[in-house]
Structure 1
């Protein structure tokens, strides 16, 4: 996020000035100074509001829109987010008065940055897109490229990696001729995007290119970020020892600049590498460093969330209920922040421990602690009762699983039951568009396009030859499901039929089955299978084999 904020200048505000009901004589006197004087004084001390207010007063008296906007931008620095939003609106109001498309576009771009800084990404994206529409008409290619960079960066954080790559590729061709630093930022972003879609060789290409150009163009301060990206890429390539060695060296460079966010990411991937090497005791100190940063700075990202799942598992295996409970509580706090800051992306990330499971585990541990303190008052009786309940639950669960398995075996996978929740009129979509989309949807199903890896709403909308909003509404109406559930269920129905009819698939691992139907991970596949059938794929295969 720092890169985006560095590329687009920080904006300013008006509300504090409005909050000053009476202008004192000093302010009136200062307002007679020239604009260069104000700029010099503000550069000397950006926290001194006196000169900023005088600057704005002079600009308002002279009805100088350009200087008013500059003054607002200065007033905005170091203010709380609520005040920044008010100031950003003031900038837009003045910009609209100028009727200058470039000025208006930059005003909306600034408003987007305010929301971006506060991690309100969807709202930020809306303002960036509005800025883009004005800047396209203004024909200022450089400012337009800044808006596109902001859009691409936001799409990356929202998880729309393919869409972000398309925009970054366009910017790569522009910035190579215009701005060396912006070009390096762009290819670094392309590396990160490709890492998210498992295109690891391309990540290496961009990182190698970036390091070479940093040397050629004498911009050494960027080298460590490409090395940081490539070290994490080595983790994904399962080169765990190289990942550990490289990130350990890079951390010392990042520490000099107090770059705690990239240090946190580095600590997480060092821990993950040790974990994958079955060196869990060596992983724990790095996970604890991630936790320390969270406690001190409240810094957390969706991909780093797994640190707490690993800590919970580690202390659970060690039988340390106190530590287990500590990190369950911490993960609940982490999730509350992620659900606010990364609302869209957090729903897409697989969670070993979701909120319900965490709360349940927390209650179980607390109950165990209570039981431990009262063992002298009936341990044997409690054990018998709990065992009896456990046996009954196990029997009921086994009976339920068996029933679900029999239902699946007797079901005809070709028969689909789709529910209409609305009428076509309620959709407020042209009937011709609906009819065309439905024909394409049937073709999508018959040709099994849903088996493509990482199929999502954007891709299916392209197949339906409509936009994502219409595609989502049409699928919900005519298939009775949200798009992701619709795609997942098609994949699961397909793999169930393969398991029922072709023996060779029963020897596949869950990972191989997941890849067969285009799931991005084994966890997503098993979760989707359970959501669709209420049983696990392992249990389903086991029961089929018992029948053979």
Structure 2
């Protein structure tokens, strides 16, 4: 009886002690430190002293999970040194060799590159690494976080349909998770994932021309975030989309008010990319109201953001076209040239990002997803056979394409250099001076006095660029020279070595080629404008003549010249 009594007493004591053990665990040194800062606002640098205390404790105990957690807290609270904390988290995760930790660390650093700096190349590298570790750990929350980030990059590249499919997947996952019973911190993360997925879906629908669907999603987002102080960042995103929608529905005054409020919310979290979008659409709204004095300071603010961060969303490039046109109209050559240079620089950055990101995300994410799906339908032997054959075929095609492309580019470069050599040596595209030499035995039955007089008039005609007159004919020119068509045609054929049409065509092409090479503003002109500038009737005629005379396509000549201009600008800046 005594033994039974003692046993029951021991069981009762152990049962009553369990909450005490839990409390002792809860009151660990880590808990005590974290409790003092965990509820502070993002980018609150006053929390960093406590965060550093937390990481020092974890270092001394060689507790890698706690140390990574501490560095992630540092990312959240640091306003200016997020990358340093993110690098430290990756370093410690690699030391731990824990795949879950490495996934979280790479995802955190990729998010810093994406959100705080818009360095999409670096962000994509880290997201793809996180994706690989996430697949091995089968953590659905992390997999969907990575999928969301990759979808954002797809949206940036303009693959809106593909991005939309991923955002639908992530919003569905995060919505269901946010409706379940979770710890408050997990609930917060899932709700943010849901709201951000909705925001990005709205962007995709807007760019796909489905504005009504975009508006309905924006209204859902606003209804969820308007009165919730924890999600004011997301509230600012939905306001931005509402303001853009108001602009496209010609509600310009409402659009300006909404976008100014959205800009304020985005500025609080230092999301400079969306701040620039707000500036741009505020400026466009003022322009639509006919108030250019109010509009252009906002367009200039977009340029300030670009100068500071060297990043520009593709949809904002039209901002520079507005500025260039405005200063061209007002004959301010310096500012026109400045904004033209900025546009060239922005296009250069966008073009540089686009092929790298699209190739990387296809090869290392889309293609892997396809292979994962096929692995459930085919045996490993079939997949291996298919892949080896496909890769070999692709390698052969790629090699042939590279050889062809290199050969083509070399030919184009040689042709371009030949044209450039003609221009820099101060000769026209046709050697007129050599043809102007009086021949010792001319075959013309025309008085030498008349020949000399017409040759002088032709020389003046060339020097004054009279050939740029639209609709010029042999008859019109003969009338201007006070002679007849027969005399003029014969002299051109004898002394210029070609008929009238070819003569005028080569003069015009020589003129426009020189302008494209020496005057940067011509590089911004459309083909129609270039044709008008040199007197040619249509863009098709201009393109055909330019290729015939110079041996290089007009589009290729402009592309190479733009590259040279950007290189010259960068060299000047260095």
| Counterpart Cα distance in 2 of 1:481 and 1:527 | 27
**Alignment partner for residue 102 of structure 1, among 94, 100, 103?**
100
* Secondary structure in 2 matching 1:38: helix
Is residue 186 from structure 1 mapped to residue 197 from structure 2 by the alignment?
A: yes
Structure 2 distance, partners of 1:220, 1:52, is 23
Deviation of 1:303 after TM superposition, in Å, equals 2.8
Q: Offset of 1:470 from its aligned partner?
A: 9.1
Aligned to 1:148: 147
Q: Does 1:204 align with 2:215?
A: yes
Measure how far apart 1:285 and its partner are: 4.2
Does the CA-based 8 Å contact 2:86-2:108 persist in structure 1? no
Maintained 8 Å contact 2:252/2:286: no
Query: 1:177-229 CA deviation, whole Å, 9 max, x = no partner?
Result: 12344222212101112333334343234224434555799988455533431
Matches within 5 A, 1:141-290: 141-179=140-178, 180-214=191-225, 221=232, 222=234, 225-233=237-245, 235=247, 237=248, 239=249, 241-252=250-261, 254-255=263-264, 258-259=267-268, 261=272, 262-273=274-285, 275=287, 280=292, 283-290=295-302
Show the counterpart of 2:30.
35
Answer whether contact 1:92 1:107 (CA < 8 A) is retained. yes
Separation (CA, whole Å) in 2 of partners of 1:347 and 1:234: 35
Query: Secondary structure of the residue that 1:319 maps to in structure 2?
Result: coil
- Shift of the alpha carbon at 1:108? 2.0
CA distance in 2, matches of 1:111, 1:161: 25
* Structure 1 gap segments, 5+ residues each: 1-32, 349-428, 438-468, 483-522
Q: Find the aligned partners of 2:287 and 2:335 in 1 and give their Cα distance.
A: 21
Are residues 85 and 57 of structure 1, via their aligned partners in 2, closer, same or farther at CA, if it must alter by over 3 Å?
A: closer
Higher Cα radius of gyration: 2
Instruction: Note closer, same or farther for the CA distance 1:338–1:470 as it changes in structure 2 (3 Å cut).
Output: farther
1:237-269 deviations in whole A, cap 9, x for unaligned? 5x3x32453233441464367457445323312
The aligned residue for residue 21 of structure 2 is none
Native 8 Å contact 2:110 2:123 kept in 1: yes
Greater CA drift, 163-172 or 205-214: 205-214
Structure 2 residues without counterparts, runs of 5 or longer: 1-27, 179-190, 358-385, 409-522, 545-574
Tell me the distance in 2 between the aligned counterparts of 1:272 and 1:538.
32
- Once the two structures are TM-superposed, the CA of residue 106 in structure 1 deviates from its matched residue by 0.9
1:470-508 alpha-carbon deviations (Å, 9 max, x no partner): 9866754578799xxxxxxxxxxxxxxxxxxxxxxxxxx
Residue 120 to residue 217, structure 1, CA distance change in 2 (3 Å): closer
Q: Does the Cα contact within 8 Å between 1:274 and 1:282 map onto a contact in 2?
A: yes
2-structure distance, mates of 1:56, 1:217: 32
Structure 1 position 317, deviation (Å): 0.9
Kindly tell me: are residues 251 and 135 of structure 1, through their superposed partners in 2, closer, same or farther at Cα, counting changes over 3 Å?
same
CA shift in 2, pair 1:436/1:203, >3 Å? farther
Deviation readout 1:445-465 (Å, 9 max, x if unpaired): xxxxxxxxxxxxxxxxxxxxx
Distance 1:254-1:245 versus aligned 2 partners, 3 A rule: same
Match of 1:92 in 2: 93
Cα separation, partners in 2 of 1:133 and 1:200, compared to 1, 3 Å: same
Contact 2:64–2:96 under 8 Å retained in 1: yes
- Distance in 2, matches of 1:290 and 1:65, equals 43
Deviations 1:361-416 (A, max 9, x none): xxxxxxxxxxxxxxxxxxxxxxxxxxxxxxxxxxxxxxxxxxxxxxxxxxxxxxxx
Structural mapping, 1:458-473, within 5 Å: none
Shift in alpha-carbon separation, 1:282–1:470, aligned structure 2, 3 A: farther
Distance 1:432 1:477, change over 3 A: farther
Aligned partner of residue 198 in structure 1, secondary structure: coil
- The secondary structure found in structure 2 opposite 1:107 is helix
User: Is the alpha carbon distance of 1:84 and 1:65 closer, same or farther for their aligned partners in structure 2, counting shifts above 3 Å?
Assistant: closer
8 A contact 2:246–2:254 mirrored in 1: no
Q: How does 1:323-342 map to 2 (within 5 A)?
A: 325-326=334-335, 328-329=337-338, 332=341, 336=345, 339=348
**Is the 8 Å Cα contact of residues 205 and 213 (structure 2) preserved in structure 1?**
yes
Number of the residue aligned with 1:56: 55
Alpha-carbon spacing, 1:347–1:220, altered in 2? closer, same or farther (3 Å): closer
Residues 489-528 of structure 1 mapped to structure 2, 5 A cutoff: none
Distance (whole Å) between structure 1 residues aligned to residue 262 and residue 117 of structure 2: 27
- Residue 308 in structure 1 maps to residue 331 in structure 2: no
Superposed CA deviations along residues 85-113 of structure 1, whole A, max 9, x for unmatched, are: 641431332341xx3x3323112212322
Give a deviation string over 1:30-58, Cα, whole Å, max 9, x none: xxx92234324555884576655553343
Per-residue Cα deviation, 1:99-137 (whole angstroms, up to 9, x for no partner): 3x3323112212322432333312321221221222223
- Partners of 1:78 and 1:219 lie apart in 2 by 18
| Matched residues, number | 349
Deviation at 1:172, TM superposition (A): 2.1
- Structure 1 CA distance for aligned equivalents of residues 224 and 156 of structure 2: 26
Aligned-partner SS, 1:63:
coil
> CA offset at residue 330 of structure 1?
5.3
2:109 aligned partner: 111
Report the CA distance shift for 1:41/1:139 in structure 2 as closer, same or farther (over 3 A).
Answer: same
Alignment pair present for 1:433 and 2:431: no
Question: Any conservation in 1 of the 2:283–2:294 contact (CA below 8 Å)?
Answer: yes
Partner of 1:540: 540
